[in-house]
């Protein structure tokens, strides 16, 4: 990736400033886009992760509102932090603390939750698989994080065990999302024709049609994460398509049905993130899509006006791919009017 002038503002942030502010220590890992090191901030000894990305691995750039040219990874992380407090860790996505644009590389200084480990290591320390109850708890947090990304029009594209941190500072596992190096900005129903992600988790629709969309692909990836949480084996799309991967018969029926639904070949048959999120047990039966949509509408828009409902219910339902006939429309409208002004019992 040739860049002259380089991304960002060298007059503000350069190698000397980085070395004056941070100490870099031992390597933590190396991926396809760069290397990550342990480190700390000199002023307060805050532990950080320092990611070095060679310029040739910066494939996409983005212009922000002020006209600055940023790597998409930086732009995405800044978008996710907009409107929040300055304290790191307020949301599931990891926080970008600083970035430095150098002649040959980009340096990201990232929040490093402590104590924490990636989900793959977390599972390995528990014997290679998790109990269904713990997997449900992790899945719920992942779905909430995925909905947050969707609301911000961000497509991570590479959700997998290694890109999920489990933070244990409170004693209860807390999910954090890392590595936005392959992420992009997108609309909910936009189609992507260039695959970016981990090859063995590639969605079937890309193999058959060479295109995929953010929502169904994210659900596919969440299904794979859940599968690998519950089975002491790796998932691969090619093996799954050849029916060489079997589910553990000891799993509950709801769990097995849910896995099949998330990992179905047809992206249109997969549940939406909203459907997954609203089911109290974590594994929706998905037999009544209308009720799921009603619950989502009320939980997100509990304080609504009658005029708003009259105008927007049909378009809102259509937004979730539900064809609304007259009787269903009237049913939804009645339920929403009945719930107007109060927080739903489901939310």
Alpha helices in the chain (DSSP H): 15-21, 72-81, 119-124, 132-151, 204-209, 214-230, 237-241, 253-262, 273-278, 289-300, 306-319, 326-339
Q: Select from 218, 216, 311, 312 the least CA-distant residue to 268.
A: 216
Chain-centre distance for alpha carbon 41: 28
β pairing state of 35-41 and 96-101: unpaired
CA atoms within 13 A on the CB side of 81: 18
What is the Cα–Cα distance from 163 to 159, expressed in whole angstroms?
6
Q: Is 158 a catalytic residue?
A: yes
**The token pair that represents 116 in the structure block:** 């924490």
Catalytic residue among 4, 158, 288, 326: 158
Q: Select from 270, 261, 321, 332 the least CA-distant residue to 298.
A: 332
| DSSP 8-state code for residue 16 | H
Count of residues in the chain: 347
Q: Select from 123, 142, 145 the least CA-distant residue to 229.
A: 123
Residue 204 near residue 241, CB atoms below 8 Å: yes
The residue assigned the tokens 């009544």 is 288
Which residues are the active-site residues? 158
């Amino acid at each position: 990736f040739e860049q002259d002038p380089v991304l960002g503002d060298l007059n503000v942030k350069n190698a000397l400033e980085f070395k004056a502010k941070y100490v870099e220590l031992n390597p933590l890992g190396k991926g396809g886009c760069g290397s990550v090191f342990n480190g700390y901030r000199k002023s307060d000894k805050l532990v950080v992760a320092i990611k070095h990305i060679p310029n040739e691995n910066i494939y996409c750039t983005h212009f922000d509102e002020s006209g600055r040219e940023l790597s998409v990874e930086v732009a995405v992380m800044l978008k996710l932090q907009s409107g929040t407090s300055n304290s790191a860790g307020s949301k599931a996505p990891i926080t970008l603390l600083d970035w430095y644009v150098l002649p040959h590389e980009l340096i990201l200084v990232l929040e490093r939750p402590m104590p924490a480990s990636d989900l793959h290591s977390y599972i390995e320390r528990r014997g290679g698989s998790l109990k269904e109850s713990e997997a449900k708890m992790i899945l719920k947090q992942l779905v909430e994080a995925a909905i947050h990304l969707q609301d911000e029009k961000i497509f991570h594209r590479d959700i997998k065990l290694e890109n999920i941190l489990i933070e244990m500072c409170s004693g209860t596992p807390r999910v954090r999302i890392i590595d936005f190096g392959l992420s992009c900005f997108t609309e909910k129903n936009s189609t992507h024709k260039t695959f970016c992600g981990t090859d063995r988790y590639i969605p079937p629709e890309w193999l058959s049609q060479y295109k995929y969309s953010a929502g169904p692909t994210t659900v596919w990836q969440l299904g794979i994460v859940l599968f690998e949480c519950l089975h002491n084996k790796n998932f691969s799309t090619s093996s799954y398509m050849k029916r060489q991967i079997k589910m553990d018969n000891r799993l509950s029926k709801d769990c097995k049905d849910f896995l099949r639904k998330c990992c179905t070949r047809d992206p249109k048959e997969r549940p939406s993130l909203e459907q997954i999120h609203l089911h109290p047990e974590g594994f929706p039966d998905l037999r009544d899509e209308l009720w799921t949509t009603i619950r989502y509408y009320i939980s997100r828009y509990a304080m609504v006006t009658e005029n708003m409902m009259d105008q927007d219910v049909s378009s809102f339902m259509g937004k979730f791919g539900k064809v609304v006939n007259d009787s269903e429309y009237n049913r939804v409208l009645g339920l929403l009017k009945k719930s107007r002004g109060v927080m739903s019992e489901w939310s």
